[in-house]
Amino acid sequence: MADIIVPELAESITEGEIVRWVKQVGDHVDKGEFIVELETDKVNAEIISEEAGVLTEILAQEGDVVEVGAVIAKVEAGGAAAAPAPKEEPKQEEAPKAEEPKQEAPQAAAPIVEETTSNDRVIASPAARKLAREKGINLSEISPVDPQGRVRVQDVAAHGTASAAAPKAAEAPKAAPAKNVDDSRVEVVKMTRRQQTAAKRLLEVSQSTAMLTTFNEIDMTNVMALRKRKKDAFQEAHDGTRLGFMSFFTKAVTAALKKYPAVNAKIVGDELHYNKFYDIGVAVATPDGLVVPNVRDTDRKNFAEIEATIAELATKARNKKLALSDLEGGSFTITNGGVFGSLMSTPIINGDQVAILGMHNIVSRPIAVGNEVQIRPMMYVALSYDHRIINGQESVGFLKTVKDLIENPEDLLLES
């Protein structure tokens, strides 16, 4: 018998929530096969079986929080898969014997027979089926919370509670209208583990830093013209990698960090740690919330390598395939609210970093160019920073350096 244990994922992660069991009790599993998905504070982890055999026992259900090192299931090495339950149905032909006074016991099995024929069509966890049998509840009558239709223990328990409470509701009809009104106007959805963690950390950042935001605007005319001229040749020369704006901003930020090292630092206790590396986090929106994977060593990467890395990380993020190594250790972050139409914002500093750059929507606006008024594509940019380590001169100088490099993109080649 082999134990399925929650593995060590990273030093900062001590527990996770079981999202779904891919295998159920009685299923055959191969060595190295993915059997359960675990959601942690940072990534979703796929836990595998170290042995080939049959899954004989599940010790933690979907929605349970389990600690690293906990045994959550057991696999019998070399075991045979369980025979399908429906083969027992022929026994029901003996039901007529129930007419004899002493043969009333088989009638107690009737709900189980009904469950086998109807409940087997319902997707449910083993624990949910067990509880439904104990309570005599037909799984097909339960409305699961899971959008995929899987019935969990919580759904069965809630159904049983609702059924038991029904008579009391009849005795107090005045309470029913209020409940119906609330249900029609408010939908209650539990936050995912990652959403809870993000909310907690964002609040911690706002409470533990002296955060300020400074703004500037960038004339995007030259960088847009350069991108238009070079994008086809760039894509052809780099195996289909597209030339976007993120590589320009990443290179500009890297150059500005070299010029203003305090923006690339962090506070540890009563010490200032000045990073000598440039790992730039790029915020990516996913259905489960915002994640910030890092582009490593941006000072050593060219435009094509940066664009390819960002595209790869974004795909991994949306497919929930990011590794912890993709998320840890960044020194600065860029977030682009402009892709959603944001004109201006004050982004919140990420983790233990001391600054974050916010990009925004490009809007054609009239501006003064020399003695003339021209319509130019303009972008507001924002730098939120921790005033405990970065002073006003440094923050303004950093943002102006980014502005100057984007407005004169050829200069970025000298910084590469």
Looking at the annotation, which residues are catalytic? 335, 387
Tokens of 305: 């390598």
Three-state secondary structure call for residue 229: helix
The tally of CA atoms less than 13 A away on the side-chain side of residue 203 is 6
CA distances from 121 to 124, 192, 242, 247 (A): 9, 28, 47, 51
Please answer whether residues 197 and 292 qualify as being in contact, where contact means their C-beta atoms are separated by less than 8 angstroms. no
Decide if 17 contacts 60 (C-beta within 8 A): no
- With contact defined as beta carbons under 8 Å apart, do 283 and 335 qualify? yes
Asked whether 248 and 409 are in contact (CB, 8 A), the reply is: yes
Segments of 239-298 assigned E as strands: 265-268, 271-274, 280-282, 284-286, 289-291, 294-295
CA-to-CA dists, residue 64 to 46, 47, 288, 393, angstroms: 16, 15, 19, 50
